[in-house]
């Protein structure tokens, strides 16, 4: 429960890539710890990690073997059942998202591609639609592609339009859609876990900041700032904001782009990556401390009961 607030405080002080890594690493660590705890609980013999923590886990093993079978067996069965239910929910929700993505790609392939003018972009195809409103968004897939309206070229300069296209290509190259979709699957399947519930919104913000940095590196920060401001004003009345220019992160993106506008983006420093690993290290430290305390309690229990 303490991890999401910590990540939310840290992520705005880090480069977007480092913050994305911190969120994904914490999510992965949570899944690994949860699976490991279930495996250790239902393991028929001594826990497999006993060789690494002999003194601590030996005491835990003695305590576990001292538990009556009529109590330990139902607990292990319930833990395995809970893990299977959670895994089943993740699979079901993931299939739902995969099918939804397939429908979106099929719609663009069968409908949008018929009326659009397709050109080859520097990294992915670009579909140009005749529409006065300046819009641009990317659709993930194999291959992914970018959809742009002609209103974008009429309302923006060539450099600003290039920044928008670079922003969308950055989404596809970095696999931002998969990151967001993975977080959404976990949040939908396991909404009671605070880390998973907070991840989609945080990841959606971070991928936009990351794509902005990539676009600013390809063009300039001022061009990306001007393009974002123009498109956000033009689409402020749109009923369903798209991935790149929608939501309440516009002000944050504009503020980040306006800061140090003359400085070109740099790659994350090793210290930033180290800070991004702090939540994972903290989770591991808490887990080790908890196991050590339990082991110590198990070792001292015979002393007090004898």
Q: What tens digit of pLDDT does each residue of 65-87 get?
A: 555 555 556 666 677 788 888 88
Tell me the pLDDT band of 246, cut-offs 50, 70 and 90. very low
The answer, yes or no, to whether residue 294 has pLDDT greater than 80, is: no
d(CA 306, CA 304): 6
Q: Indicate the average pLDDT of the chain.
A: 76
Q: Is residue 31 within a helix (H) or strand (E), and if so which, with residue range?
A: helix 16-42
Tell me the pLDDT band of 281, cut-offs 50, 70 and 90. low
pLDDT of the residue at 265? 45
pLDDT of the residue at 244? 43
Q: Is residue 118 within a helix (H) or strand (E), and if so which, with residue range?
A: strand 117-120
DSSP secondary structure of 60-110: HHHHHHHS-HHHHHHHHHHHHHHHHHHHHHHHHHHHHHHHHHHHHHHHIII
The length of the chain in residues reads 306
User: Per-residue pLDDT averaged across 163-176, rounded?
Assistant: 93
Residue 238, CA atoms < 13 Å, CB-side half-sphere: 18
pLDDT of the residue at 57? 55
Tell me the pLDDT band of 264, cut-offs 50, 70 and 90. very low
d(CA 171, CA 176): 5
pLDDT of the residue at 289? 62
Single pTM value for the model: 0.70
pLDDT of the residue at 169? 93
User: Are the CB atoms for 138 and 177 separated by under 8 Å?
Assistant: yes
Residue 255's alpha-carbon distances to 7, 68, 91, 113, 251, in angstroms, are 20, 61, 39, 36, 6
Higher pLDDT, 78 or 151: 151
Dump pLDDT digits (tens) for 179-221. 999 999 999 999 998 889 989 999 999 999 999 999 999 999 9
Nearest Cα neighbor of 1 from 223, 195, 227, 217 is 195
User: Are the CB atoms for 10 and 19 separated by under 8 Å?
Assistant: yes
Bridging pattern class, strands 125-129 and 145-149:
parallel
């Amino acid at each position: 429960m303490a991890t999401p607030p910590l990540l939310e405080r840290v992520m705005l002080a880090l480069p977007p890539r480092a913050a994305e890594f911190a969120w994904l690493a914490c999510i992965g660590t949570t899944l690994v710890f949860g699976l490991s705890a279930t495996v250790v609980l239902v393991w028929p013999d001594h826990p497999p990690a006993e060789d690494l923590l002999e003194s601590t886990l030996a005491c835990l093993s003695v305590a576990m073997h001292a538990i009556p079978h009529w109590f330990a067996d139902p607990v292990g069965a319930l833990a395995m059942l809970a893990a299977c239910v959670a895994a089943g929910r993740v699979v079901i929700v993931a299939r739902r998202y995969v099918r939804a993505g397939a429908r979106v790609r099929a719609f663009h392939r069968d409908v949008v591609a018929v009326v659009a003018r397709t050109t080859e972009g520097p990294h992915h195809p670009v579909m140009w639609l005749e529409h006065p409103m300046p819009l641009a968004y990317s659709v993930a897939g194999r291959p992914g592609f970018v959809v742009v309206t002609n209103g974008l070229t009429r309302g923006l300069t060539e450099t600003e339009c290039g920044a928008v296209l670079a922003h969308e290509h950055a989404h596809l190259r970095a696999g931002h859609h998969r990151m967001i979709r993975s977080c959404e699957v976990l949040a939908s399947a396991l909404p009671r876990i605070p880390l998973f519930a907070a991840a989609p919104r945080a990841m959606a913000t971070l991928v936009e900041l990351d794509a902005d940095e990539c676009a600013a590196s390809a063009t300039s920060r001022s061009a990306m700032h001007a393009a974002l401001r123009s498109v956000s004003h033009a689409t402020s009345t749109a009923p369903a904001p798209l991935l790149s220019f929608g939501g309440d992160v516009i002000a944050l993106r504009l503020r980040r782009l306006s800061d140090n506008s003359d400085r070109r983006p740099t790659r994350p420093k090793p210290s930033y990556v180290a800070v991004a690993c702090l939540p994972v290290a903290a989770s591991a430290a808490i887990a080790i401390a908890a196991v050590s305390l339990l082991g110590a309690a198990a070792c001292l229990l015979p002393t007090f009961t004898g």
